[in-house]
Every structure is written in structure tokens, then in C-alpha cells.
């Protein structure tokens, strides 16, 4: 061998040894809202995600984690540009996001087109684990259908017959109401009026007047974040809380109770998490979260934590090599994720199969009433995997 070739070979050996000893950092693109009605949700997700990574010594699958962040503003019009920036300019290895269903669908499209691994830590857009499902897309949260469907059964069992729904007019609100209606009408109830307003408007007055005039047995709603705070307060201020019981997907009262105060007291909601579940994993999680962030965790923090757990499981199976897509996906598909909500696995379309809890607000907590729907799986309609 010529001297030059030998030197080159030696250099290559040295380089590959260095590679094995210290893999380059793994770039995680965090695309979450930092402003607007969902800002607090984005913060809780990031906190949860970082908590898990920190518990693992800052590494997943042997690779140190580096974050690149974008404020998506919960604005679908900016979503494709934002996600392309993360992939093309910042060269992220993994995408994590987001809260808003419309933004998440744009992320899913780019993830599918580029093959980039996407973990969705909140947005429930049914399509993401439906027609848009893919080997490289996983959700750590829920589908919009899930809490809605569970509440349809709960409200029918309570004997409510005529219900008005009210929500924001976009994928999450529409799909939450659709899930509710599917179960409620199957059980003999009737949705007599579907009210909505554009996201993220909070001018509820005219619609509350319409609810009062319709005199339904009850109201089902999907609102979240800052909008949920205002809706619960306005509903009480309009004098409706005493006369027409208000129910909702649990986002109505999760992460919002400090601000809602007594106006939220007694509200019944359905969600895949509750305060004080009391299982060992949840107890440890809540202690660690409160210590790290001086805040009580909510469902969004849990979803962020579990997105990091899912990434950790996938990366461990491929020793940090994200290019091994099939093996990485297979590892998450067969995993049981040790979540604070209770252990769960994912469905064929990569959405959590999970218990949906009925909770009731008492003071500053969403207290567990019972399991409304055991191991509820989103039907994954339109997903071919
Ligand atoms: C959604 O847009 O999918 C969404 C947003 C906030 C929530 C839940 C769902 O709390």
C-alpha cells in the first residue's frame, strides 16, 4: 500500500472510532406555539419533553440532544414555511410538534414527503393518524375523536337527550364534536344545534344568548388554552352554569384552573389524564415536574414527556441512527410506553390506545371520577399502514 493510502486508511479508522465514541448531537426541531391562545400549552409540552431528556442525562439512544425551536403561533398559514425551515435550514433529525391541528397537518405532509420522523405531542387532527398516517409519524397524545366519543357515551348515560355543541371552527373543534355526536346519537341522543366561531376568537356573547334561547338539556364543548379560560368564565357570568350543565373534552379545564377559579368548579370532562391518578409513574413524574419547573404538570406536560419517551425507545433500538427508519418505527410500534397517564401502546395507525377518564373539577384539580372508556382506540379511518 502506498504511504498516502495508508495515511488515508488510518485517518478513516480514527474518524470511525471517534464516531462510535461520540456520535454527533441529535437535532430535535421543536415546533410549538410560544405566543397566542395556546402559548402555555407549548411551554408545558417543551417542559415535559426536556424533563425526560434530562432524566436520561441529556441523551437518547446514546446521542446528546440539541434543540432548535420555532414559534409556530398556531398559524396554519405559516406552518409549511416554518417546518421547511427546520428541515432545510436547520437540518433537524427529528420533528416534534405541535399543538394546533391545522399546523400539525402541514407538518405531517412535509414529514411524509421528506421521510423525517415526526412526533406529535398534542394536536389531535384525526387525519394525522388517518389518511395522512405514515411509518415515520407517531402521536403521543390523542385523536380529537377520542375524548369526544367518550363524552358522547357519558352524556347519553346521564340521560341527556338534546344537546347543543359549541367550539372553534377548525379541525380540532369539528372533529371533537363529530366524535361526540357519533357516540351520543348512537346511544339515542340528539345534537340539536352545532354552534361555532372562528379560531381563536373569544367573542362568545351572541352564541351564549343562542344557547340560553335553545334551552338544551346540556352543552358539549371543545375549547382549550386561553380561549377555554374565557369560555368557562363567560358561561358562568351569563348565568348558564346553574341551568344548563356544561361538559367538554378535558382541555376545557386542563392547565386552566388557576385562571378559571370557582367558575370551573364541578365541571365534568373526559380526557386521557387526570390529576392525582396515584400510580407510581405519575407520582414520580409530578414530583419531578414540580421540582424542575415550580409548576403543576397538566396533560400537555405528560404528552411532551411521552413524546420524548417514544423517541428514546425508537433511538435506543437503532443506537441513535435515525436513518434506520423501519427498525426505529418497529420499536415504537411494539413498545408499552410507561406514561404518567397509565401505560399505553400505539394503534396500527400510531395513535395511543388509552383509557379515557371522566374527571370533575374540584378546587384546582381535575379529579378522577371513573374510567369512561377503557383502552379506547381511534378507528384510524383511512389509514393504510
Ligand atoms: C388541536 O388543535 O388539535 C388541539 C389544540 C389544543 C388542545 C387540544 C387539541 O388542547
* Average pLDDT of the segment spanning 343-358: 98
Say what the pLDDT of residue 14 is. 43
* Beta carbon of 260 within 6 Å of any ligand 1 atom: no
pLDDT digits (tens, 9 = 90+) for 142-160: 999 999 999 999 999 999 9
Edge-first strand listing for the sheet containing 137-139: 59-60, 63-71, 26-32, 94-96, 117-120, 137-139
- Do 318 and 286 belong to one domain? yes
Confirm whether 250 is domain-assigned: yes
Q: Which residues contact 305 (CB under 8 A, 6 or more apart)?
A: 48, 49, 51, 52, 285, 289, 339, 340
Confirm whether 255 is domain-assigned: yes
What is the distance in A from the centroid of ligand 1 to the CA of 284?
26
- Do 135 and 282 belong to one domain? yes
Say what the pLDDT of residue 16 is. 42
Confirm whether 17 is domain-assigned: yes
- For 18-64, the DSSP string reads HHHHSPPPEEEEEEE-SSSTTHHHHHHHHHHHHHHHHHTTTEETTEE
pLDDT digits (tens, 9 = 90+) for 5-64: 445 444 444 444 334 457 899 999 999 999 999 999 999 999 999 999 999 999 999 999
Give the CATH number of the domain where residue 310 resides. 3.40.50.2300
- Do 128 and 228 belong to one domain? no
What is the distance in A from the centroid of ligand 1 to the CA of 102?
10
Tell how many helices (H) and how many strands (E) occur in the chain: 13, 14
**Long-range Cβ contacts of 232-238 (<8 Å, 24+ apart):** 232/256, 232/260, 232/263, 232/264, 232/267, 233/260, 233/263, 234/204, 234/205, 234/208, 235/204, 235/208, 235/263, 236/263, 237/263, 238/205, 238/208, 238/209, 238/212
Give the burial class of 34: count Cβ atoms within 10 A of its Cβ; 0-12 exposed, 13-18 middle, 19 or more buried: middle
- Do 103 and 187 belong to one domain? no
- For residues 221 and 229, is the Cβ–Cβ distance under 8 A? no
- DSSP at 380: -
pLDDT digits (tens, 9 = 90+) for 215-271: 999 999 999 999 999 999 999 999 999 999 999 999 999 999 999 999 999 999 999
pTM of the predicted protein model? 0.94
* Average pLDDT of the segment spanning 333-342: 98
- Do 207 and 262 belong to one domain? yes
- Do 94 and 180 belong to one domain? no
What is the distance in A from the centroid of ligand 1 to the CA of 228?
11
- Do 40 and 130 belong to one domain? yes
| Angle, CA of 118, 33 and 165, to the nearest 5° | 95
pLDDT digits (tens, 9 = 90+) for 253-266: 999 999 999 999 99
- Do 79 and 136 belong to one domain? yes
The count of domains in the chain is 2
| Angle, CA of 96, 284 and 341, to the nearest 5° | 55
Residue nearest to atom 3 of ligand 1 (CA): 123
Say what the pLDDT of residue 319 is. 97
From the list 376, 359, 378, the residue with the least C-alpha distance to 368 is 359
The Cα-based distances of 221 to 270, 300, 316 in angstroms read: 11, 19, 40
Residue nearest to atom 7 of ligand 1 (CA): 224
Say what the pLDDT of residue 22 is. 73
What is the distance in A from the centroid of ligand 1 to the CA of 212?
27
- Do 41 and 120 belong to one domain? yes
Say what the pLDDT of residue 17 is. 38
What is the distance in A from the centroid of ligand 1 to the CA of 143?
9
* Beta carbon of 100 within 6 Å of any ligand 1 atom: yes
Say what the pLDDT of residue 157 is. 98
- Domain extent at residue 299: 13-142+276-350
- Do 25 and 103 belong to one domain? yes
Cα–Cα distance, 78 to 17 (Å, whole number): 42
From the list 338, 347, 370, the residue with the least C-alpha distance to 52 is 338
Say what the pLDDT of residue 21 is. 52
Confirm whether 365 is domain-assigned: no
Q: Which atom of ligand 1 is nearest to the CA of 123?
A: 3
Cα–Cα distance, 221 to 139 (Å, whole number): 23
Residue nearest to atom 5 of ligand 1 (CA): 100
Cα–Cα distance, 45 to 27 (Å, whole number): 17
Confirm whether 380 is domain-assigned: no
- Do 71 and 126 belong to one domain? yes
- Do 121 and 65 belong to one domain? yes
* Average pLDDT of the segment spanning 129-136: 98
Confirm whether 246 is domain-assigned: yes
Q: What is the mean pLDDT of the chain?
A: 95
Is pLDDT of 299 > 90? yes
Q: Which residues contact 34 (CB under 8 A, 6 or more apart)?
A: 42, 43, 69, 71, 73
Confirm whether 374 is domain-assigned: no
For the four alpha carbons of 263, 359, 171 and 37, in that order, the dihedral sign comes to: positive
Say what the pLDDT of residue 364 is. 96
Q: Which three cell numbers stand for residue 369?
A: 371520577
The domain boundary residue, chosen from 236, 271, 306: 271
Confirm whether 361 is domain-assigned: no
The domain boundary residue, chosen from 228, 255, 271: 271
* Beta carbon of 124 within 6 Å of any ligand 1 atom: yes
The domain boundary residue, chosen from 271, 293, 314: 271
Say what the pLDDT of residue 214 is. 98
Amino acid at each position: 500500500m502506498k504511504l498516502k493510502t495508508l495515511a488515508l486508511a488510518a485517518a478513516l479508522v480514527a474518524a470511525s472510532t471517534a464516531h462510535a465514541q461520540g456520535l454527533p448531537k441529535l437535532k430535535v426541531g421543536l415546533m410549538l406555539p410560544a405566543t397566542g391562545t395556546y402559548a402555555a400549552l407549548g411551554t408545558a409540552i417543551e417542559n415535559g419533553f426536556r424533563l425526560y431528556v434530562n432524566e436520561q442525562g441529556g441523551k437518547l439512544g446514546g446521542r446528546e440532544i440539541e434543540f432548535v425551536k420555532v414559534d409556530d403561533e398556531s398559524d396554519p398559514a405559516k406552518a409549511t414555511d416554518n417546518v421547511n425551515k427546520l428541515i432545510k435550514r436547520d437540518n433537524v433529525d427529528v420533528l416534534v410538534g405541535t399543538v394546533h391541528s391545522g399546523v400539525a397537518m402541514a407538518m405531517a405532509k412535509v414529514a411524509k414527503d421528506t421521510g423525517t420522523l415526526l412526533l406529535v405531542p398534542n394536536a389531535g387532527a384525526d387525519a394525522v393518524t388517518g389518511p395522512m398516517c405514515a411509518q415515520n409519524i407517531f402521536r403521543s397524545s390523542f385523536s380529537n375523536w377520542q375524548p369526544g366519543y367518550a363524552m358522547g357515551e357519558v352524556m347519553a348515560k346521564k340521560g341527556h337527550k338534546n344537546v347543543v355543541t359549541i367550539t372553534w371552527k377548525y379541525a380540532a373543534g369539528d372533529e371533537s364534536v363529530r366524535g361526540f355526536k357519533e357516540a351520543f346519537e348512537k346511544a339515542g341522543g340528539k345534537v340539536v344545534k352545532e354552534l361555532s366561531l372562528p379560531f381563536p376568537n373569544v367573542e362568545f356573547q351572541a352564541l351564549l344568548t343562542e344557547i340560553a334561547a335553545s334551552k338544551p338539556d346540556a352543552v358539549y364543548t371543545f375549547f382549550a388554552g386561553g380561549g377555554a379560560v374565557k369560555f368557562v368564565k363567560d358561561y358562568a357570568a351569563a348565568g348558564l352554569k346553574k341551568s344548563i350543565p356544561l361538559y367538554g373534552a378535558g382541555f376545557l379545564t386542563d392547565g386552566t384552573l388557576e385562571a378559571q377559579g370557582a367558575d370551573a368548579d364541578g365541571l365534568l370532562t373526559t380526557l386521557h389524564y387526570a390529576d392525582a391518578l396515584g400510580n407510581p409513574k405519575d407520582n414520580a413524574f409530578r414530583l419531578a415536574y414540580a421540582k424542575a419547573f415550580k409548576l403543576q404538570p397538566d396533560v400537555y406536560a405528560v404528552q411532551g414527556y411521552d413524546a420524548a419517551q417514544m423517541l428514546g425507545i425508537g433511538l435506543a433500538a437503532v443506537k441513535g441512527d435515525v436513518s434506520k427508519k423501519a427498525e426505529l418505527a418497529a420499536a415504537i410500534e411494539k413498545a408499552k410506553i410507561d406514561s404518567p397517564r397509565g401505560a399505553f401502546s400505539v394503534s396500527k395507525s400510531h395513535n395511543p390506545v388509552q383509557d379515557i377518564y371522566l374527571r370533575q373539577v374540584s378546587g384546582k384539580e381535575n379529579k378522577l371520577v371513573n374510567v369512561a372508556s377503557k383502552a379506547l382506540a381511534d378507528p384510524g379511518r383511512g389509514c393504510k399502514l
